[in-house]
């Protein structure tokens, strides 16, 4: 189930609708959502935060933004 969540070709809405009918336990369903979709959501939110803070086009190629250096200082 985690592989299905990580693989970008599978529609998550279809899995959300079909898992209860396949008698998938709710704990397995919740774990597959957190482990499979958590990293994607983290990187998407991080990218949105970086884009929101840009004030100049020269900041797009700043390596500090891509290496998350600000999180470690």
Task: Name the pTM for this structure.
Answer: 0.56
Question: What total of structural domains would you count in the chain?
Answer: 1
As given in the structure block, the two tokens for residue 36 are: 């499979």
Q: Which residue has the tokens 């983290």?
A: 42
Q: Please state, in angstroms and rounded to a whole number, the distance separating the CA atoms of residues 73 and 62.
A: 16
Q: pLDDT tens digits, the chain, 73 residues: what are they?
A: 777 777 767 788 888 888 889 998 999 888 888 888 888 888 888 888 877 877 777 777 767 666 665 555 4
Which residues span the domain enclosing 9? 2-72
């Amino acid at each position: 189930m985690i592989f299905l969540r990580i693989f970008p070709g599978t529609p998550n809405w279809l899995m959300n609708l079909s898992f209860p009918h396949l008698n998938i336990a709710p704990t397995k369903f919740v774990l597959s959502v957190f482990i499979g979709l958590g990293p994607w959501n983290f990187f998407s939110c991080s990218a949105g935060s970086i884009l929101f803070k840009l004030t100049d086009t020269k900041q797009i190629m700043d390596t500090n933004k891509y290496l998350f250096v600000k999180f470690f200082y």
